[in-house]
């Protein structure tokens, strides 16, 4: 997708997607263990006649291939037995291209994915990967949030309801200032379309989306630039000010509040986040959004990650439960691909799960804020 989008948890997950913005990630490596063999020699006894030699001892069977220290067989991952292994293999085959860590494994997965059954897929994954748990810098749990490709109504010309402009990249980008300054007219840019203010705010959090017009036409809004300000989530200050309950700060709850208070009060709350996103518009082809890795994002099988800690095209196993927002699903677990990033997605155990397109995906994404464990899936050999 494009740009500094974020999980629809506006507490602090703005993510640049599908944008030419720092999306080249860090590499990962696997250290193999070197097996050391030591031989013992004994001094022969001085005997005149040792007698007949004992029968030869059958050789020991060769040891089973060992895993690097700290690695697991995939079968030991929590929930692996319940995984949809064929869907996992297909997700890997679709997303492994950006990574150059295991080109043969990627090629073989693509060849198998078109004809494999579930048991073939499971056998392939278990034979070609090990898993190593990734740790946070402080030893605590990580965080899973989620995002989606939103669809919002828009207009070609402004009216009383659709009065927030979708702005193009400004000629004076380095001097536009914060959100309040831009809304006051500091940006030298064009209005590409007009939206409801709260919808534009969330489009900027997501970083891209589809605009639908009254004549039935649709256009994809993609990240073009930002004002360089740090993203600040508004959920916590809204709870601190008593505008929303602390367990009721999902994305949908925030958007509903902004819509109900549209005007100066909502603008003051949105201005707590100084970051502002500019867009380009293009024809919407109906496909899934494209992530920072340059490939379409498989819904529920792709995550935005910190590219300084992960390489695009890597596979990971996630386990996340215990979400505390109203309406949250109990848990998320499965194989996912690292295919996107975001400016608030930082740290080794921090992921933003792509849910899909449309309102239903948006409702779910807005309630994802779960403690997270992650395992890196490491190609063997």
Q: How many helices (H) and strands (E) does the chain have?
A: 9, 14
Is the pTM higher than 0.75? The answer reads: no
Instruction: Categorize the per-residue pLDDT at 310 as very low, low, confident or very high, splitting at 50, 70 and 90.
Output: very high
- Mean predicted confidence (pLDDT) in 4-8: 36
User: Does the pLDDT of residue 97 top 70, yes or no?
Assistant: yes
Phi-psi domain of 313 (left: phi exceeds 0; alpha: psi -120 through 50; beta: other): left
Instruction: Categorize the per-residue pLDDT at 46 as very low, low, confident or very high, splitting at 50, 70 and 90.
Output: very low
Average pLDDT along the chain = 82
Compute how many other C-beta atoms are within 10 angstroms of the C-beta atom of residue 214: 9
E runs forming strands in the chain: 71-73, 129-134, 142-149, 151-153, 164-167, 191-195, 208-212, 218-226, 277-283, 302-304, 315-321, 331-340, 350-357, 369-379
Instruction: Categorize the per-residue pLDDT at 328 as very low, low, confident or very high, splitting at 50, 70 and 90.
Output: confident
- For 197-247, write each residue's pLDDT tens digit: 999 999 998 888 899 999 999 999 988 999 999 999 999 999 999 999 988
Would you state the pLDDT for residue 363?
85
Would you state the pLDDT for residue 261?
96
Q: Which of 38-47, 77-86, 148-157, 341-350 has the lowest mean pLDDT?
A: 38-47
Would you state the pLDDT for residue 211?
96
Instruction: Categorize the per-residue pLDDT at 263 as very low, low, confident or very high, splitting at 50, 70 and 90.
Output: very high
Would you state the pLDDT for residue 70?
59
User: Does the pLDDT of residue 25 top 90, yes or no?
Assistant: no
Which DSSP helix (H) or strand (E) runs through 265? helix 264-270
């Amino acid at each position: 997708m494009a740009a500094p989008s974020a999980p629809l948890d506006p507490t602090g997950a703005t993510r640049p997607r599908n944008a030419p913005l720092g999306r080249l990630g860090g590499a990962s490596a696997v250290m193999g263990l070197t097996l050391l063999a030591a031989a013992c020699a004994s001094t022969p006894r001085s005997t005149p006649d040792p007698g007949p030699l004992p029968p030869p001892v059958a050789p020991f069977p060769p040891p089973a291939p060992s895993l690097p220290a700290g690695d697991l067989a995939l079968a030991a991952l929590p929930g692996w037995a319940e995984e949809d292994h064929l869907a996992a293999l297909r997700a890997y085959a679709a997303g492994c291209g950006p990574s150059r860590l295991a080109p043969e494994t990627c090629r073989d997965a693509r060849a198998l994915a078109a004809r494999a059954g579930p048991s073939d897929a499971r056998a392939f994954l278990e034979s070609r990967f090990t898993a190593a748990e990734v740790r946070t810098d402080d030893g605590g749990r990580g965080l899973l949030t989620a995002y989606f490709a939103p669809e919002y109504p828009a207009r070609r010309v402004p009216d009383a309801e659709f009065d927030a402009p979708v702005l193009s990249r400004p000629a004076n980008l380095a001097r536009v200032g914060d959100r309040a300054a831009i809304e006051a007219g500091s940006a030298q840019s064009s209005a590409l379309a007009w939206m409801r203010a709260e919808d534009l705010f969330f489009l900027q959090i997501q970083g891209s989306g589809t605009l639908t017009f009254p004549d039935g036409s649709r256009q994809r809004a993609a990240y073009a630039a930002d004002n360089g300000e740090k993203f600040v989530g508004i959920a916590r200050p809204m709870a601190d000010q008593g505008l929303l309950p602390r367990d009721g700060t999902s994305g949908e709850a925030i958007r509903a509040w902004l819509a109900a208070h549209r005007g100066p009060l909502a603008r003051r709350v949105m201005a707590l986040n100084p970051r502002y996103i500019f867009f380009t518009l293009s024809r919407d082809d109906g496909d899934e959004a494209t992530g920072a890795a340059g490939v379409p994002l498989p819904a529920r099988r792709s995550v935005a990650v910190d590219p300084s800690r992960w390489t695009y095209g890597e596979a990971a196993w996630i386990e996340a439960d215990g979400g505390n927002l109203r309406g949250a699903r109990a848990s998320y677990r499965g194989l996912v691909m690292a295919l996107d990033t975001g400016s608030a997605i930082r740290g080794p155990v921090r992921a933003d799960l792509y849910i899909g397109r449309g309102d239903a995906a948006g409702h779910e994404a807005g309630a994802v804020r779960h403690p997270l464990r992650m395992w890196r899936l490491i190609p063997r050999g």
